């Protein structure tokens, strides 16, 4: 009874008529509302919907469908009325011609979809196929809404070549111009909706989302785009639930869907579908209180059925909806208020009658007499909070469709301006077929200032307004714009949000989080879990000398050679240069030791020079002792080349200098040893080799051995000389500045030659260690070479196992120890006699023989 009562009320508007133009009795009124004009546009509006409710909670199978008025569709009527009035009052658009309209209520039942279009085509509001009550048809175009009604109606109207304008969502199916050559879609393409939603997720760092989507072509296309965009930024689905309309009507799956919602760790859920799907979904879960979930939708609640339980469902009040962005038509709000409130109560205008009837029937259920309903205090409130005062997407598309028809018709009339008129003086019958060429290339700027293009190939991508529902204490909601997305801005500025305007779900006071795994902080990297989504992972600490300085890094980054990772593994620090500096305690100790030893050696040399005529100095080959003391002084000083920051000169001089001066020292020891051998074995009268000792031939060993070493060092420096190098890996946090030896073969040849010379000196000294005589130094030479060889044999493994400063310190220590061993073992006893026991340093003492034949 409600649709019938409502229809009767709608017929009372003074500007609208429903009368018959001829006397045929078969032509009777059936349209909801109509307005006369030279040409007429028909609108098939979904003014009614269905509501599914359960009669008994104990038995969900007891269901009932109830026809309901979609009160918000009242705006569609006013939009058409506004556009027609603006065009009819515009002297520059369709002069001397008026637009009219006829509004029909699109049936919600698929079997009756074509009843109203056939009634309109028949001419007088009755379904008579292939029969028209009009002598001159004034039908010029039709407005239809969703694809479920547009496809069958478009197939019918295509037979008559009548343009059909779709004011609902863009449907790729209707882009097949081979099947729907007379269909024009006013809505912008939704190709950027997936990117807009993913940009919102990226802004809030939501990487774990659920999805409810229709199992149809719309859902498949959108899901493909959504997966593509989500894959770019690493957003994953906690679940994907593709639902058919039959599944929504089946209550057997309620428990599993409810558990899926409640058990999932995601706090963000996307719902995508047409108005019918969204309505069905909300009605289905209206009795379930779901808190803590953010719902992202592709369209607002324009089609929510209004009944006695009109109040918005609290579970969905925190939704974020994406609707097409457009400017509000100038004067639209004032037009609504004027058309609704300015008429006097006696006339009971269409808007007042509609609102009054709905208010009485649905809100005041006990009101049986419309005259007893007091609505003056609540009428403005109903307009503000039930009827949107801003133009919806569908209303805006209707507004542009009417202007598209008017502009195309105006251009067509100008094109045929010179054609003769019929005898009645009226324009000849306008053929809709002639209108299509003008519609296909129409492009104009509407009164709002937006460009309108019907050619789908030239249509721009849609921009979106992001709106949130504010839940009021009474349970009513107000939709508030909280942001917008525009694909035409730079990439990092496409999304604009006003977070302070967003009302989050019940129980959440700050921006909710929705992740499968908490982000891996700096110092960690993500490790995927086999069999899980990419958003579910483990966090693993970065390995040695690698860092991650951002969250959720896939791989750690190795620090440069001159840097090292801090303990938190989130930052690379500059390594400090490491070398054995003079200022270091160890370096300072070695420098002091080297200088003291060199000074001591020089002092010993001075003592020997001062007492050069004493028997003990003469008996041990005074010249060779001087050479040995000078070379030992150089040995102590050459250790200073290994200290301090390495540079090119020091690197080149280090080992060659060390090798040469030590070769001189060791060869001198060898010469002294051979001299002792010759002195005790070749001094008998008449021996032919006596002249060797007299001629000091053993002294030639020093230049010969030294020349060989100098040759080896020259080859080394000529082939691959030492150079400055760095070692960034041996010591944590340090870059070791060192001298690279260049050719290791040359280095070991030089060192091996020196070792062979030392072993020869030790062997010879060891063989003559028991020769008699008071001033025989064979034992001291043997012991000194034993110390020398022991030091360098110990040095080799320690040197190769040490790094950095320690390696240099070991080498310097070996130089000082071996040099000190030679100095102490050879010259300490002599200095003791010279300085402490001078009575033993005499010719008389030299000639004495102790008991046993060997005096010390």
- Residue 57, burial from CB neighbour count under 10 angstroms (0-12, 13-18, 19+): exposed
pLDDT at 252: 59
Pairing of strands 557-558, 546-547: antiparallel
Cα separation, 183 vs 192, whole angstroms: 23
- Provide the CB-side half-sphere exposure for 836 (13 A, CA): 6
For 180, other C-beta atoms within 10 Å of its C-beta total: 21
- Is the CB of residue 182 less than 8 Å from the CB of residue 161? yes
For 414, other C-beta atoms within 10 Å of its C-beta total: 10
| Three-state secondary-structure class, residue 655 | helix
CATH of domain 585-847: 1.20.1070.10
pLDDT at 10: 39
* Secondary structure letter of residue 359 according to DSSP: I
**CATH topology for the 2-189+329-414+432-455 domain:** Rossmann fold (3.40.50)
Cα separation, 697 vs 673, whole angstroms: 13
Q: Which of residues 307 and 607 earns the better pLDDT score?
A: 607
Q: Is the dihedral of CA 6, 12, 13, 18 positive or negative?
A: positive
- Is the CB of residue 572 less than 8 Å from the CB of residue 556? no
Helix 74-89 vs helix 393-415: crossing angle, to nearest 10? 30
Task: Tell me the three-class secondary structure of 284-328, residue by residue.
Answer: HCCCCCCCCCEEEECCCCCCCCCCCCCCCCHHHCCCEEEEECCCC
Cα separation, 650 vs 645, whole angstroms: 9
* Secondary structure letter of residue 430 according to DSSP: P
| Three-state secondary-structure class, residue 746 | helix
Average pLDDT over residues 36-58: 67
Hey, what are 423's tokens? Answer: 């005898």
Span 270-298, pLDDT tens digits: 988 877 777 777 766 655 545 678 888 88
User: 195-209, 442-456, 573-587, 768-782: lowest mean pLDDT where?
Assistant: 768-782
Among 304, 306, 307, 390, residue whose Cα is nearest residue 75: 390
Pairing of strands 563-565, 572-574: antiparallel
pTM of the model: 0.61
pLDDT band of residue 338 (cuts 50, 70, 90) is: low
CATH number of 193-328+462-501, picked from 3.40.50.2300, 2.40.50.100, 3.40.720.10, 3.30.1490.190: 3.40.50.2300
- The residue ranges of every structural domain in the chain are 2-189+329-414+432-455, 193-328+462-501, 524-574, 585-847
Average pLDDT over residues 50-66: 48
Q: Which residues contact 167 (CB under 8 A, 6 or more apart)?
A: 76, 143, 144, 145, 186, 187, 394, 397, 398, 401
Q: Which residues contact 591 (CB under 8 A, 6 or more apart)?
A: 582, 640, 643
pLDDT at 633: 92
Hey, what are 398's tokens? Answer: 């209707």
| Three-state secondary-structure class, residue 583 | coil
pLDDT at 755 over 50: yes
Cα separation, 742 vs 724, whole angstroms: 10
Instruction: Write out the E strands in 683-727.
Output: 723-727
Cα separation, 160 vs 146, whole angstroms: 21
Average pLDDT over residues 344-358: 46
Span 360-394, pLDDT tens digits: 544 444 444 434 444 444 555 555 555 566 777 88
- Is the CB of residue 448 less than 8 Å from the CB of residue 330? yes
Q: Which residues contact 34 (CB under 8 A, 6 or more apart)?
A: 16, 17, 18, 40, 100, 101, 102, 103
Q: Which of 67-81, 526-540, 674-688 has the highest mean pLDDT?
A: 526-540
Q: Which of residues 726 and 195 earns the better pLDDT score?
A: 195
Span 132-180, pLDDT tens digits: 555 556 778 888 876 566 677 766 777 778 888 988 877 777 777 777 7
Domains 2-189+329-414+432-455 and 193-328+462-501 share a fold: yes
pLDDT at 576 over 60: yes
Average pLDDT over residues 822-826: 88
Among 313, 277, 267, residue whose Cα is nearest residue 298: 277
- Is the CB of residue 100 less than 8 Å from the CB of residue 41? yes
**Residue bearing tokens 């944590």:** 732
How far does the chain reach from its first CA to its final CA, in angstroms? 143
| Three-state secondary-structure class, residue 5 | helix
pLDDT at 523: 92
pLDDT at 752 over 60: yes
């Amino acid at each position: 009874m409600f649709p019938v009562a409502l229809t009767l009320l709608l017929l009372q508007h003074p500007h609208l008529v429903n009368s018959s133009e001829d006397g045929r009795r078969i032509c009777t009124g059936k349209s909801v509302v109509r307005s006369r004009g030279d040409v007429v546009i028909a609108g098939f509006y979904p003014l009614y919907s269905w509501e599914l409710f359960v009669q008994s909670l104990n038995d969900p199978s007891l269901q009932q469908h109830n026809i309901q008025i979609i009160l918000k569709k009242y705006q569609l009527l006013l939009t058409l009325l506004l556009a027609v009035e603006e065009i009819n009052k515009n002297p520059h658009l369709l002069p001397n011609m008026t637009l009219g309209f006829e509004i029909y209520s699109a049936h919600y039942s698929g079997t009756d979809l074509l009843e109203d279009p056939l009634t309109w085509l028949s001419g007088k509001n009755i379904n008579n196929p292939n029969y028209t009550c009009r002598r001159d048809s004034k039908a010029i175009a039709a407005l239809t809404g969703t694809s479920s009604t547009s496809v069958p109606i478009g197939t019918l109207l295509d037979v008559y070549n009548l343009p059909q304008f779709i004011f609902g969502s863009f449907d790729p199916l209707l882009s097949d111009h081979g099947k729907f050559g007379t269909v024009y879609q006013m809505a912008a393409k939704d190709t950027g909706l997936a990117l807009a939603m993913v940009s919102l997720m990226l802004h809030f760092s939501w990487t774990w989302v659920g999805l409810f989507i229709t199992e149809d072509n719309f859902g498949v296309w959108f899901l493909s785009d959504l997966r593509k965009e989500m894959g770019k930024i690493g957003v994953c689905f906690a679940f994907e639930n593709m639902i058919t309309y039959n599944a929504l009507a089946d209550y057997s799956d309620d428990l599993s869907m409810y558990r899926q919602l409640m058990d999932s760790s995601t706090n963000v859920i996307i719902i995508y579908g047409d108005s019918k799907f969204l309505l069905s979904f909300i009605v289905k879960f209206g009795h379930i209180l779901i808190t803590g979930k953010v719902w992202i939708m592709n369209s607002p609640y324009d089609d929510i059925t209004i009944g006695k339980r009109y109040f918005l469902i609290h579970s969905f009040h925190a939704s974020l909806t994406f609707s097409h962005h457009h400017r509000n038509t100038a004067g639209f709000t004032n037009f609504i208020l004027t058309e609704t409130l300015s008429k006097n109560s006696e006339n009971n205008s269409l808007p007042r009658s509609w609102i009054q009837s709905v208010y009485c029937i649905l809100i005041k259920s006990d009101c049986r007499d419309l005259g007893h309903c007091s609505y003056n205090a609540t009428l403005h409130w109903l307009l503000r909070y039930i009827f949107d005062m801003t133009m919806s997407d569908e209303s805006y598309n209707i507004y542009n469709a009417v202007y598209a028809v008017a502009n195309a018709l105006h251009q067509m009339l100008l094109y045929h301006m010179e054609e003769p008129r019929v005898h009645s003086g009226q324009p000849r019958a306008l053929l809709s077929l002639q209108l299509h060429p003008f519609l296909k290339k129409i492009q104009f700027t509407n009164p709002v200032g937006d460009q309108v293009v019907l050619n789908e190939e030239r249509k721009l991508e849609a921009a979106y307004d992001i709106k949130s529902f504010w839940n009021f204490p009474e349970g009513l909601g107000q939709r508030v714009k909280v942001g917008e997305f525009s694909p035409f801005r730079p990439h990092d500025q496409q999304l604009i949000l006003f977070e302070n305007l967003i009302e989050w779900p019940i129980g959440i006071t700050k921006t909710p989080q929705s992740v499968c795994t908490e982000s891996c902080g700096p110092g960690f990297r993500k490790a995927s879990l086999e069999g899980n989504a990419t958003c579910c992972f483990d966090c693993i600490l970065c390995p040695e000398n690698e860092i991650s300085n951002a969250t959720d890094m896939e791989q750690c980054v190795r620090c440069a050679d001159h840097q090292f990772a801090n303990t938190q593994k989130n930052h690379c620090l500059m390594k400090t240069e490491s070398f054995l500096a003079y200022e270091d305690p160890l370096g300072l100790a070695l420098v002091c030791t080297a200088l003291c030893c060199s000074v001591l050696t020089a002092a010993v040399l001075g003592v020997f020079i001062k007492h050069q005529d004493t028997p003990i100095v003469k008996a041990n080959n005074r010249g060779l002792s001087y050479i040995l003391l000078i070379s030992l002084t150089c040995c102590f000083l050459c250790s200073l080349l290994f200290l301090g920051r390495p540079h090119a000169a020091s690197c080149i001089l280090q080992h060659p200098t060390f090798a040469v001066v030590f070769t001189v020292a060791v060869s001198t020891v060898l010469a002294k040893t051979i001299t002792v051998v010759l002195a005790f074995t070749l001094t008998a009268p008449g021996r032919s080799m006596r002249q060797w000792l007299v001629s000091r031939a053993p002294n030639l060993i020093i230049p010969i051995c030294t020349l060989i070493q100098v040759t080896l060092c020259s080859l080394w420096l000529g082939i691959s000389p030492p150079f400055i190098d760095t070692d960034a890996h041996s010591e944590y946090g340090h870059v070791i500045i060192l001298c690279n030896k260049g050719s290791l073969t040359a280095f070991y040849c030089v060192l091996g030659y020196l070792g062979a010379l030392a072993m020869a000196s030790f062997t010879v000294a060891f063989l003559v260690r028991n020769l008699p005589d008071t001033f025989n130094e064979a034992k001291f030479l043997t012991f000194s070479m034993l110390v020398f060889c022991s030091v360098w044999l110990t040095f080799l493994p320690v040197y190769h196992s040490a790094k950095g400063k320690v390696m240099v310190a070991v080498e310097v220590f070996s130089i000082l120890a071996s040099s000190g061993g030679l100095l102490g073992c050879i010259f300490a006893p002599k200095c003791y006699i010279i300085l402490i026991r001078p009575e033993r340093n005499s010719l008389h003492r030299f000639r004495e023989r102790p008991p046993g034949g060997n005096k010390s």
